């Protein structure tokens, strides 16, 4: 059952939908723009390409329970 639940959330976020579980949090996808970084081995500047990443934002009740 949990596997099916996670599959539904994963598929929805992959399609650009935002999933909100009231009291727990929200899952969504976010776009990261292109930015400059450094190669840790050589310390040379490099361009990190734009990408899309999954994101989770905890809900108010969840945050208050963890850090009152």
Q: Could you say which architecture CATH assigns to the domain 2-66? A: Irregular (4.10)
Task: List all residues 6 or more positions away from 32 whose beta carbon is below 8 Å from its beta carbon.
Answer: 50, 51, 52, 53
So where are the chain's domains? Answer: 2-66
How many CB atoms are located within 10 Å of the residue 55 CB?
A: 13
Q: What is the pLDDT of residues 8-42, one digit of tens each?
A: 999 999 999 999 999 999 999 999 999 999 999 99
Q: What is the pLDDT of residues 43-57, one digit of tens each?
A: 999 999 999 999 999
Radius of gyration over every alpha carbon of the chain, rounded to an integer in angstroms = 17
Q: State the pLDDT at residue 10.
A: 95
């Amino acid at each position: 059952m949990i596997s099916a639940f996670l599959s539904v959330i994963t598929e929805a976020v992959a399609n650009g939908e935002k999933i909100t579980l009231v009291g727990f949090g929200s899952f969504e996808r976010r776009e990261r723009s292109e930015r400059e970084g450094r190669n840790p081995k050589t310390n040379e500047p490099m361009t990190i390409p734009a990408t899309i990443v999954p994101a989770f934002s905890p809900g108010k009740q969840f945050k208050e329970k963890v850090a009152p």
